[in-house]
A and B are shown apart, each in its own frame.
Chain A
Amino acid sequence: MSGYVFDQYMLVLIVSLATFMVGFVVYIIFYYMFHKLYGSKVRSISRLKEEIVMCGLEYSEEVLSAPATKIFSDVMKRSLRGVHNILTKELGTRVLNDWFAWMLIMLALIIVLAMLVR
């Protein structure tokens, strides 16, 4: 097989280098250069452009936002309602943290897999 064979550490270093090299070229060509050549020339300053799209609502100084973490946990609770009920009501993890219980399950899973591999 032709190519370059490395150990894990060197390979991580090389692919990270490739990542940053390609990322740098993308930034320079597809953002900086186009911005300098075209974007900056068609710039028209307007207060409205800098405000948040509120779909017909009036603009206010208060930043309106739904916390992403709440939405995430809500989706997870709704999707796994049965498991969530067991975790919160029967195991009483409402006192602790739901994530703590999740991690315990993950740890148990890893132990089972480790025993299987052994």
Chain B
Amino acid sequence: MVQGMIMDLIIQGLIFPGLFFIIFLIIFTQWIYRKVAARVQYRRGPCYTGPLGFLQPFADFMKLLMKEDVVTKYSVKHIPIVLASIGLGSLIAILLLTPLSLRPFYGDYDIIILFYLGLWSSFAILFIGLATPNPYTSLGVGRYMALLVSSEPSFIASFIVPVIIASRFFNVNYSFYKASILSHRLWTTDPFSTVSMILAAVAGFMALMGILGIRPFDFPEAEGEIYWGIFTEYGGPRLALVFFILFTERIVFPLIYVMLFLGGSWPVDITMNYWAGFLIIFTKFILLFILLTIIDNVMPRLRPDQGVRILWKYALTLSLIALIISLI
């Protein structure tokens, strides 16, 4: 039993739906991102590396990994790399708690563990920025802190709503795994839950955009304004790891959104037919990813104070209203 569990943990953590699956998904989603962005800007996007340019993101990643590791003499040298690796590990470990895992690890109140793991990557990015003394980096870190403080409360308050409703009506004891399997039934359980699900879905989408730094909330990077904010000093393998975290965030958090708000594997029960359920979740995720990509490419960037104000005023207010209605 214990040996089997350890083997499952290793195989699922490192291969599927873990590290190597995430690498494949990063290549796939970044290829989609570049193609969609190119279409929006009347370009063709990647064409030459691999079929239809599919391997271009992989080639760019390898190019960064093979470069010289340059660090300024005032920077912290090793800890950012260690923290980036752990941040990435925490994002991948989240997938073990989801129905995407063939043999998931779950229990009562596992939604809190999911939020805890989700925070690791954000703190890793913060520390990566603080580890270099460039003024533009500090500007980026300050803005990123403001963005996190504004988007995390609404993210948590809205993403917990489906779990609360599932716990009240289906007795799932605040388990994310069990709630995500039942999520399609939460919309129609009772009129109050329908209203709170709608409000939480809207607020959750705004918070998701904030956490992922999607325009109009990309002011911590703001290329033309503060160079590249947090990542100004980074290049080579360090930048590759930073990209690794950012692109993994853009996979894991939308997947959670799909599982809680977009019905998960509905109309198929993933516990009965895993691969059909997996395919449906994957399709919904790709559609959500394309929507986020289009928004990222057509929206203008907000000023930091404007972005933060929108998140406090609308996303947090809506998520708190949804939270209160779900508790009534």
Contacts and interface: CB of A to CB of B under 8 A. Distances in A.
A51 B72 CA distance: 5
- Interface-central residue, B105, B150, B244, by most chain A CB under 10 Å: B105
Contacts of B150: 79
B143 interface: yes
User: Chain B contact residues: over half helix, strand or loop, or mixed?
Assistant: helix
Interface in A11-36: 11-12, 14-27, 30-31, 34-35
B142 A66 contact: yes
A1 interface: yes
A78 B307 CA distance: 11
Nearest to A24: B85
24 contacts: A2-B271, A14-B9, A15-B96, A15-B105, A15-B117, A19-B86, A19-B89, A19-B117, A22-B13, A22-B14, A22-B19, A22-B93, A26-B88, A26-B241, A30-B237, A34-B66, A53-B134, A68-B141, A69-B142, A74-B142, A75-B146, A79-B308, A79-B312, A116-B324
B305 A79 contact: yes
Contact of A8 (B10, B66, B69, B110): B110
A49 B149 CA distance: 34
B105 A3 contact: yes
A101 to B, nearest CB: 15
Nearest to B110: A11
B230 to A, nearest CB: 10
B135 A66 contact: yes
Interface residues of B, number: 82
A4 B5 contact: yes
A5 B134 CA distance: 47
A104 interface: no
Contact of B13 (A18, A35, A72): A18
B85 to A, nearest CB: 4
B39 interface: no
Interface of B: 5, 8-10, 13-14, 18-19, 65-74, 81-82, 85-90, 92-93, 96-97, 101, 103-110, 112-113, 116-117, 120, 129-130, 133-136, 138-139, 141-143, 145-146, 149-150, 177-178, 181, 227, 232-233, 236-237, 240-241, 244, 271, 304-309, 312, 323-324, 327-328
B108 A7 contact: yes
Contacts of A116: 324, 327-328
Interface of A: 1-8, 10-12, 14-27, 30-31, 34-35, 38-39, 42-44, 49-53, 55, 63-72, 74-76, 78-80, 113, 116-117
